[in-house]
């Protein structure tokens, strides 16, 4: 027993939040805001730290300059006295002064630093360092004389605290900015999504043949105006399509009715003919009426199929393999009477979403076309494969090269076959039905006869002739 294919969903669900383009836009805006804030934070902290370092360096250099002047003018004893006085001072910035005066051999002469750090006095080196008591300072070492080295330092605990406060303020501000971006983005996304949903709902309603609900005519921006105008246009198009179908059915009914009455009158006329009168002319008139009705039905079917391309209303899961097998059994007797071999290669369980009657007409038109032109002793082959792919090929006279690009147009016929009339609508109807089912039909190259292929548009290659 064949397993039916899962039913194809005909509605468009709202995308998950992670897949929504609007959600991605908000996330992108938040990400851009975060990256911008991080860059700004890095630049700000870098500049703030460099400014702190420059300030410490200027303070230390100014202090050293003053001490050098004291040493040059008053000597070593005065310098030691001034170092003792300055060790107890704290600047307005909260930077405590630290000093150390030593001999090159390491003898400590004065100051409030217990151990000389790794700074070269001869090179007048400076930098951030940690003293033996754990105090973090910025210091510079300098050589006052060949037998005297001076180290001047400043603590920067308050500077570090100020930088930490700056970090806290910056992070708080960044959080407020990101929250504001998220709130504004969410509000904008809600409005955009509401309007896009209105347009999508209109498309879904039109696709399923329902009335399109027009949104409120009030709109406050371009997107709202677009949503309103788009929905109204979709509703108008759907209404025109329904009107077209209704008018087509009405016209068909209005034309068939007088033709049917005319045919009935001809039948009555044939019954009342005097004996010996040949009714062939009246019978020919009846055949002409039937031909016109058939042509009219084909034209209406073509118009109906083309107008419903992409419309899922009325489509159902169809076992194409079973449908084709039944048609082969139906045509087998006719082919045998015509002296034509009808072969079939049908894969099992080939399904398609479609209309059974339309698919039957599609394959029947191709088989009728092949059986009409293939001479006695010829061969016609029907193939059904997964895809789905429908192929009908024959070894008849084929189609003239000049006619091949026009073969799917209306009122185009191939070779004339005696006793068989054609309006040239069979292949045009086959193309319309194929389009209705999301497929294309093509006349592909073959060494002999004609070879028609029907398959989904995505399966066609650029080298094949497709209608």
Cβ burial of 388 (10 Å; 0-12, 13-18, 19+) is buried
When pLDDT is averaged across residues 416-442 and rounded to a whole number, the result is 74
Q: Which of 150-154, 247-251, 257-261, 315-319 has the lowest mean pLDDT?
A: 247-251
373 CB-near residues (< 8 Å, 6+ apart): 394, 396, 397, 414, 415, 417, 450
CATH number for the domain formed by residue range(s) 10-207: 3.30.450
**Where in the chain are the domains?**
10-207, 239-305, 316-459
Q: Which of 17, 28, 19, 44 is nearest to 181 (CA)?
A: 28
User: What's the pLDDT at 6?
Assistant: 36
When pLDDT is averaged across residues 256-263 and rounded to a whole number, the result is 73
Q: Domain 316-459's class? A: alpha beta
User: What's the pLDDT at 382?
Assistant: 93
Is 90 exceeded by the pLDDT of residue 16? no
User: What's the pLDDT at 379?
Assistant: 92
* Averaged pLDDT of the chain: 78
Residue 390: which pLDDT band, with cuts at 50, 70 and 90?
Answer: very high
**What beta strand segments (E) does 347-378 contain?**
351-354
User: What's the pLDDT at 5?
Assistant: 35
Q: What are phi and psi of 121, to 5 degrees?
A: -70, -35
User: What's the pLDDT at 303?
Assistant: 67
Q: Which of 51-60, 139-148, 173-182, 187-196 has the lowest mean pLDDT?
A: 187-196
User: What's the pLDDT at 412?
Assistant: 63
Q: Which of 23-27, 204-208, 377-381 has the lowest mean pLDDT?
A: 204-208
pLDDT tens for residues 270-315? 777 777 667 777 777 777 777 777 667 666 666 666 666 666 667 8
Q: Which of 209-213, 330-334, 389-393 has the lowest mean pLDDT?
A: 209-213
User: What's the pLDDT at 209?
Assistant: 60
Residue 78: which pLDDT band, with cuts at 50, 70 and 90?
Answer: confident
Cα 412 to Cα 260: distance, rounded to the nearest angstrom: 27
> Which of the pair, 246 or 133, is modelled with greater confidence?
133
User: What's the pLDDT at 351?
Assistant: 92
- Asked if 227 contacts 198 with a C-beta cutoff of 8 angstroms, the reply is yes
User: What's the pLDDT at 182?
Assistant: 84
Is 80 exceeded by the pLDDT of residue 321? yes
Is 70 exceeded by the pLDDT of residue 4? no
Percent of the chain having pLDDT more than 70?
Answer: 75
Cα 45 to Cα 409: distance, rounded to the nearest angstrom: 74
Cβ burial of 333 (10 Å; 0-12, 13-18, 19+) is exposed
Cβ burial of 246 (10 Å; 0-12, 13-18, 19+) is exposed
């Amino acid at each position: 027993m064949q397993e039916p294919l899962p039913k194809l969903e005909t509605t468009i669900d709202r995308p998950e939040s992670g897949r929504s383009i609007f959600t991605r836009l908000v996330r992108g805006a938040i990400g851009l805001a975060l990256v911008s804030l991080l860059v700004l934070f890095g630049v700000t902290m870098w500049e703030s730290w460099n400014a702190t370092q420059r300030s410490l360096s200027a303070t230390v250099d100014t202090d050293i300059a003053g001490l050098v002047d004291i040493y040059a003018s008053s000597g070593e004893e005065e310098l030691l006295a001034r170092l003792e006085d300055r060790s107890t001072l704290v600047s307005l910035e909260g930077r405590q002064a630290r000093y150390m005066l030593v001999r090159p051999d390491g003898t400590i002469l004065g100051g409030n630093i217990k151990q000389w750090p790794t700074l070269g006095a001869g090179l007048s080196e400076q930098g951030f360092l940690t003293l033996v008591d754990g105090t973090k300072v910025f210091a510079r070492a300098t050589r006052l004389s060949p037998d005297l080295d001076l180290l001047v330092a400043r603590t920067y605990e308050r500077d570090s605290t100020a930088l930490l406060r700056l970090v806290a303020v910056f992070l708080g501000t960044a959080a407020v900015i990101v929250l504001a971006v998220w709130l504004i983005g969410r509000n904008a996304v809600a409005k955009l999504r509401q309007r896009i949903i209105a347009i999508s709902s209109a498309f879904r309603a039109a696709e399923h043949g329902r009335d399109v609900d027009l949104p409120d005519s009030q709109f406050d921006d371009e997107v709202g105006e677009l949503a309103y105008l788009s929905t109204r246009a979709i509703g108008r198009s759907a209404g025109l399509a329904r009107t077209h179908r209704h008018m087509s059915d009405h016209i068909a009914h209005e034309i068939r009715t007088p033709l049917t009455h005319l045919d009935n009158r001809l039948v009555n006329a044939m019954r009342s003919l005097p004996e010996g009168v040949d009714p062939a002319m009246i019978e020919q008139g009846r055949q002409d009426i039937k031909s016109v009705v058939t042509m009219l039905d084909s034209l209406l079917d073509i118009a109906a199929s083309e107008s419903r391309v992409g419309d899922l209303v009325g489509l159902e899961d169809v076992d194409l393999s079973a449908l084709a097998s039944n048609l082969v059994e139906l045509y087998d007797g006719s082919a045998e009477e015509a002296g034509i071999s009808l072969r079939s290669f049908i894969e099992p369980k080939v399904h398609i979403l479609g209309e059974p009657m339309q698919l039957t007409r599609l394959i029947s038109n191709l088989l009728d076309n092949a059986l009409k032109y293939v001479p006695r002793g010829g061969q016609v082959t029907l193939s059904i494969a997964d895809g789905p792919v429908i192929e009908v090929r024959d070894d008849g006279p084929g189609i003239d090269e000049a006619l091949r690009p026009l073969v799917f147009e209306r009122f185009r016929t191939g070779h004339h076959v005696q006793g068989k009339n054609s309006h040239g609508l069979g292949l045009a109807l086959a193309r319309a039905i194929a389009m209705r089912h999301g497929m294309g039909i093509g006349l592909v190259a073959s060494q002999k006869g004609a070879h028609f292929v029907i398959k989904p548009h995505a399966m066609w290659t650029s080298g094949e002739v497709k209608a």
